[in-house]
Amino acid sequence: MREIRKCQRSDQKTAPNHVQNQKQGRAKVKFMKYNVNVCYKIVNSVSTMSERHFDNRENGNLPYVKEHKMEVNVPWSMHDRGGQRKYLTNNETVSFLSVAKSESIDVYSFCWFLAVTGCRISEALSIGVESIDFSSGHVIIKCLKKRHSAIFRAVPLPLKMLDRLQEWVRKGKLSKDGRFWPWSRMTAYRKVTGVMEKARISGPWAVPKGLRHAFGVRAIHSGVPLNLVQRWLGHADMKTTAIYANASGSEEREIAARAWLSEDSTYELKRAAA
Protein backbone atom coordinates (compact mmCIF):
# COMPACT_ATOMS: atom_id res chain seq x y z
CA MET A 1 0.00 0.00 0.00
CA ARG A 2 2.79 2.39 0.82
CA GLU A 3 4.44 1.73 -2.56
CA ILE A 4 1.14 2.34 -4.37
CA ARG A 5 0.62 5.61 -2.49
CA LYS A 6 4.17 6.70 -3.35
CA CYS A 7 3.52 6.04 -7.04
CA GLN A 8 0.29 7.98 -6.87
CA ARG A 9 2.05 10.90 -5.18
CA SER A 10 4.84 10.84 -7.76
CA ASP A 11 2.25 10.86 -10.56
CA GLN A 12 0.48 13.77 -8.93
CA LYS A 13 3.78 15.67 -8.72
CA THR A 14 4.91 15.00 -12.30
CA ALA A 15 1.59 15.77 -13.92
CA PRO A 16 1.61 19.47 -13.01
CA ASN A 17 5.23 19.75 -14.25
CA HIS A 18 4.23 18.33 -17.60
CA VAL A 19 1.41 20.80 -17.88
CA GLN A 20 3.74 23.56 -16.80
CA ASN A 21 6.24 22.64 -19.54
CA GLN A 22 3.47 22.83 -22.10
CA LYS A 23 2.52 26.28 -20.84
CA GLN A 24 6.14 27.42 -20.99
CA GLY A 25 6.42 26.13 -24.55
CA ARG A 26 3.31 28.05 -25.56
CA ALA A 27 4.66 31.15 -23.84
CA LYS A 28 7.94 30.84 -25.78
CA VAL A 29 6.07 30.57 -29.07
CA LYS A 30 4.02 33.65 -28.19
CA PHE A 31 7.18 35.51 -27.19
CA MET A 32 8.88 34.62 -30.49
CA LYS A 33 5.83 35.76 -32.46
CA TYR A 34 5.84 39.00 -30.46
CA ASN A 35 9.53 39.60 -31.27
CA VAL A 36 8.92 38.96 -34.97
CA ASN A 37 6.07 41.48 -34.97
CA VAL A 38 8.19 44.05 -33.13
CA CYS A 39 11.10 43.60 -35.57
CA TYR A 40 8.72 43.91 -38.50
CA LYS A 41 7.32 47.15 -37.11
CA ILE A 42 10.82 48.55 -36.49
CA VAL A 43 11.95 47.73 -40.04
CA ASN A 44 8.84 49.38 -41.45
CA SER A 45 9.34 52.47 -39.30
CA VAL A 46 13.02 52.73 -40.29
CA SER A 47 12.22 52.40 -43.99
CA THR A 48 9.51 55.03 -43.65
CA MET A 49 11.91 57.41 -41.92
CA SER A 50 14.58 56.86 -44.58
CA GLU A 51 12.06 57.57 -47.32
CA ARG A 52 11.22 60.83 -45.59
CA HIS A 53 14.94 61.73 -45.51
CA PHE A 54 15.21 61.25 -41.76
CA ASP A 55 18.19 63.13 -40.41
CA ASN A 56 19.54 61.54 -37.24
CA ARG A 57 21.25 64.76 -36.17
CA GLU A 58 18.35 67.15 -36.42
CA ASN A 59 15.19 65.08 -35.97
CA GLY A 60 13.60 65.37 -32.55
CA ASN A 61 12.91 61.62 -32.37
CA LEU A 62 16.60 60.78 -31.95
CA PRO A 63 16.38 60.16 -28.14
CA TYR A 64 13.55 57.68 -28.77
CA VAL A 65 15.59 55.92 -31.42
CA LYS A 66 18.64 55.69 -29.15
CA GLU A 67 16.53 54.45 -26.24
CA HIS A 68 15.03 51.63 -28.30
CA LYS A 69 18.37 50.86 -30.04
CA MET A 70 16.92 51.37 -33.50
CA GLU A 71 19.29 51.65 -36.45
CA VAL A 72 18.32 54.40 -38.84
CA ASN A 73 19.61 54.50 -42.42
CA VAL A 74 20.46 58.14 -43.00
CA PRO A 75 20.21 59.20 -46.66
CA TRP A 76 23.57 59.61 -48.38
CA SER A 77 24.89 63.14 -48.41
CA MET A 78 27.80 65.10 -49.88
CA HIS A 79 28.92 65.88 -46.31
CA ASP A 80 29.89 63.59 -43.46
CA ARG A 81 28.46 63.61 -39.94
CA GLY A 82 30.84 66.40 -38.99
CA GLY A 83 29.59 68.61 -41.81
CA GLN A 84 32.76 68.31 -43.92
CA ARG A 85 32.56 67.70 -47.65
CA LYS A 86 33.51 64.35 -49.19
CA TYR A 87 34.69 65.59 -52.59
CA LEU A 88 37.74 67.40 -53.93
CA THR A 89 37.28 70.86 -55.37
CA ASN A 90 38.42 71.66 -58.91
CA ASN A 91 41.55 73.40 -57.64
CA GLU A 92 42.42 70.43 -55.42
CA THR A 93 41.93 68.00 -58.32
CA VAL A 94 44.22 70.08 -60.58
CA SER A 95 46.84 70.28 -57.83
CA PHE A 96 46.55 66.52 -57.25
CA LEU A 97 47.16 65.70 -60.92
CA SER A 98 50.03 68.17 -61.25
CA VAL A 99 51.83 66.49 -58.34
CA ALA A 100 51.01 63.04 -59.78
CA LYS A 101 52.91 63.96 -62.97
CA SER A 102 56.16 63.87 -60.99
CA GLU A 103 55.47 60.25 -59.98
CA SER A 104 56.06 57.17 -62.11
CA ILE A 105 54.01 56.70 -65.27
CA ASP A 106 51.87 53.95 -63.75
CA VAL A 107 51.00 56.01 -60.65
CA TYR A 108 50.24 59.12 -62.70
CA SER A 109 48.08 57.24 -65.20
CA PHE A 110 46.14 55.57 -62.39
CA CYS A 111 45.44 58.90 -60.65
CA TRP A 112 44.53 60.44 -63.99
CA PHE A 113 42.19 57.55 -64.81
CA LEU A 114 40.34 57.89 -61.48
CA ALA A 115 39.92 61.64 -61.97
CA VAL A 116 38.47 61.48 -65.51
CA THR A 117 36.23 58.43 -65.12
CA GLY A 118 34.92 58.66 -61.56
CA CYS A 119 35.19 54.88 -61.21
CA ARG A 120 35.77 53.01 -57.99
CA ILE A 121 39.33 52.04 -57.12
CA SER A 122 38.60 48.31 -57.43
CA GLU A 123 37.01 48.88 -60.85
CA ALA A 124 40.08 50.76 -62.09
CA LEU A 125 42.38 47.94 -60.96
CA SER A 126 40.45 45.46 -63.10
CA ILE A 127 40.96 47.48 -66.31
CA GLY A 128 43.00 45.74 -68.99
CA VAL A 129 43.69 46.14 -72.68
CA GLU A 130 40.47 44.31 -73.53
CA SER A 131 38.52 46.93 -71.53
CA ILE A 132 39.55 49.81 -73.80
CA ASP A 133 37.61 50.41 -77.01
CA PHE A 134 40.13 52.59 -78.85
CA SER A 135 37.92 53.00 -81.93
CA SER A 136 34.99 54.53 -80.02
CA GLY A 137 37.14 56.18 -77.33
CA HIS A 138 35.44 54.44 -74.39
CA VAL A 139 36.50 52.29 -71.49
CA ILE A 140 34.18 49.41 -70.58
CA ILE A 141 33.93 49.18 -66.80
CA LYS A 142 32.35 46.28 -64.98
CA CYS A 143 30.26 47.38 -62.00
CA LEU A 144 32.00 45.36 -59.30
CA LYS A 145 29.64 46.64 -56.61
CA LYS A 146 26.83 44.58 -58.19
CA ARG A 147 28.47 41.19 -57.77
CA HIS A 148 25.42 39.08 -58.51
CA SER A 149 24.98 40.40 -62.04
CA ALA A 150 27.37 41.24 -64.87
CA ILE A 151 26.61 44.91 -65.55
CA PHE A 152 28.97 46.97 -67.69
CA ARG A 153 29.06 50.67 -68.45
CA ALA A 154 30.90 52.63 -71.14
CA VAL A 155 32.68 55.80 -70.03
CA PRO A 156 34.33 58.20 -72.53
CA LEU A 157 38.06 58.82 -72.18
CA PRO A 158 40.06 61.89 -73.27
CA LEU A 159 41.99 61.41 -76.51
CA LYS A 160 45.22 62.27 -74.72
CA MET A 161 44.70 59.40 -72.28
CA LEU A 162 43.75 57.01 -75.09
CA ASP A 163 47.00 57.83 -76.91
CA ARG A 164 49.03 57.24 -73.74
CA LEU A 165 47.32 53.91 -73.05
CA GLN A 166 47.75 52.80 -76.66
CA GLU A 167 51.45 53.66 -76.49
CA TRP A 168 51.66 51.73 -73.24
CA VAL A 169 50.13 48.68 -74.91
CA ARG A 170 52.42 49.01 -77.92
CA LYS A 171 55.52 49.03 -75.71
CA GLY A 172 54.29 45.93 -73.86
CA LYS A 173 54.27 47.48 -70.40
CA LEU A 174 51.20 45.56 -69.23
CA SER A 175 51.21 42.88 -66.56
CA LYS A 176 51.04 39.16 -67.35
CA ASP A 177 47.26 39.11 -66.88
CA GLY A 178 46.83 42.10 -69.22
CA ARG A 179 45.99 44.68 -66.56
CA PHE A 180 47.35 48.21 -66.64
CA TRP A 181 47.77 48.40 -62.86
CA PRO A 182 48.53 44.97 -61.32
CA TRP A 183 48.30 46.16 -57.71
CA SER A 184 46.27 45.16 -54.72
CA ARG A 185 43.53 47.46 -53.54
CA MET A 186 45.51 48.57 -50.48
CA THR A 187 48.62 49.31 -52.57
CA ALA A 188 46.58 51.45 -54.96
CA TYR A 189 44.96 53.23 -52.01
CA ARG A 190 48.35 54.07 -50.51
CA LYS A 191 49.69 55.37 -53.81
CA VAL A 192 46.74 57.73 -54.30
CA THR A 193 46.72 59.02 -50.74
CA GLY A 194 50.50 59.48 -50.93
CA VAL A 195 50.10 61.79 -53.90
CA MET A 196 47.40 63.70 -52.03
CA GLU A 197 49.73 64.19 -49.07
CA LYS A 198 52.42 65.58 -51.38
CA ALA A 199 49.81 67.92 -52.87
CA ARG A 200 48.97 69.05 -49.30
CA ILE A 201 45.39 67.89 -49.60
CA SER A 202 44.00 66.80 -46.24
CA GLY A 203 40.57 66.07 -44.86
CA PRO A 204 37.83 63.43 -45.27
CA TRP A 205 37.95 64.03 -49.04
CA ALA A 206 41.66 63.16 -49.35
CA VAL A 207 40.90 59.56 -50.39
CA PRO A 208 40.36 57.84 -53.77
CA LYS A 209 36.59 58.06 -53.30
CA GLY A 210 36.96 61.83 -53.07
CA LEU A 211 38.01 61.79 -56.74
CA ARG A 212 34.86 59.86 -57.63
CA HIS A 213 32.67 62.39 -55.83
CA ALA A 214 34.62 65.24 -57.43
CA PHE A 215 33.93 63.79 -60.88
CA GLY A 216 30.20 63.62 -60.13
CA VAL A 217 30.08 67.20 -58.81
CA ARG A 218 32.14 68.51 -61.72
CA ALA A 219 29.93 66.76 -64.28
CA ILE A 220 26.68 68.03 -62.77
CA HIS A 221 27.93 71.61 -62.48
CA SER A 222 29.22 71.49 -66.06
CA GLY A 223 25.71 70.84 -67.32
CA VAL A 224 26.07 67.13 -68.13
CA PRO A 225 22.61 65.47 -68.18
CA LEU A 226 21.76 63.59 -65.03
CA ASN A 227 21.10 60.30 -66.80
CA LEU A 228 24.59 60.34 -68.36
CA VAL A 229 26.26 61.00 -65.02
CA GLN A 230 24.22 58.16 -63.52
CA ARG A 231 25.40 55.78 -66.26
CA TRP A 232 29.05 56.86 -66.02
CA LEU A 233 29.15 56.41 -62.25
CA GLY A 234 27.17 53.17 -62.30
CA HIS A 235 24.41 54.28 -59.94
CA ALA A 236 21.34 52.05 -59.78
CA ASP A 237 19.08 54.91 -58.71
CA MET A 238 19.09 58.42 -60.19
CA LYS A 239 18.27 59.82 -56.75
CA THR A 240 21.83 58.95 -55.69
CA THR A 241 23.25 60.86 -58.67
CA ALA A 242 21.02 63.86 -57.99
CA ILE A 243 22.68 64.35 -54.60
CA TYR A 244 25.78 65.67 -56.39
CA ALA A 245 23.72 68.69 -57.42
CA ASN A 246 23.62 69.73 -53.74
CA ALA A 247 27.35 70.42 -53.70
CA SER A 248 28.41 74.05 -53.77
CA GLY A 249 29.88 75.13 -57.10
CA SER A 250 30.94 78.27 -58.92
CA GLU A 251 27.45 78.84 -60.33
CA GLU A 252 25.99 78.76 -56.84
CA ARG A 253 28.46 81.40 -55.67
CA GLU A 254 27.52 83.63 -58.60
CA ILE A 255 23.85 83.33 -57.69
CA ALA A 256 24.57 83.90 -54.00
CA ALA A 257 26.56 87.03 -54.86
CA ARG A 258 23.33 88.63 -56.02
CA ALA A 259 21.99 88.43 -52.48
CA TRP A 260 25.10 89.88 -50.86
CA LEU A 261 25.91 93.53 -50.30
CA SER A 262 27.15 95.43 -53.35
CA GLU A 263 30.66 95.78 -51.89
CA ASP A 264 30.92 92.03 -51.29
CA SER A 265 29.53 91.22 -54.73
CA THR A 266 32.04 93.53 -56.45
CA TYR A 267 34.94 91.96 -54.54
CA GLU A 268 33.67 88.48 -55.47
CA LEU A 269 33.64 89.33 -59.18
CA LYS A 270 37.13 90.82 -59.04
CA ARG A 271 38.54 87.75 -57.29
CA ALA A 272 36.85 85.42 -59.77
CA ALA A 273 38.23 87.34 -62.75
CA ALA A 274 41.77 87.45 -61.32
pLDDT, tens digit, 9 for 90 and up, residues 39-75:
444 334 434 443 443 334 333 444 443 444 444 344 5
221 and 132 together in one domain: yes
188 and 235 together in one domain: yes
103 and 53 together in one domain: no
Checking if the pLDDT of 202 tops 90, the result is yes
Range of the domain at 205: 90-254
Contacts of 106 (CB under 8 A, 6+ apart): 180, 181
61 and 141 together in one domain: no
What is the rounded radius of gyration, in angstroms, for the C-alpha atoms of the chain? 30
Number of separate domains in the chain: 2
115 and 35 together in one domain: no
114 and 219 together in one domain: yes
Indicate yes or no: pTM above 0.75.
no
57 and 101 together in one domain: no
**pLDDT tens across 120-159, in order?**
999 999 999 999 999 999 999 988 776 666 789 999 999 9
Contacts of 157 (CB under 8 A, 6+ apart): 116, 117, 132, 137, 138, 139, 165
- The CA-CA-CA angle for residues 57, 58, 62, to 5°, reads 70
Asked if residue 260 is part of any domain, the answer here is no
Asked if residue 56 is part of any domain, the answer here is yes
122 and 248 together in one domain: yes
23 and 112 together in one domain: no
Asked if residue 57 is part of any domain, the answer here is yes
Q: Is 164 helix (H, G, I), strand (E, B) or coil?
A: helix
132 and 250 together in one domain: yes
Q: What gap in Å lies between CA 152 and CA 145, rounded to an integer?
A: 11
47 and 110 together in one domain: no
Asked if residue 231 is part of any domain, the answer here is yes
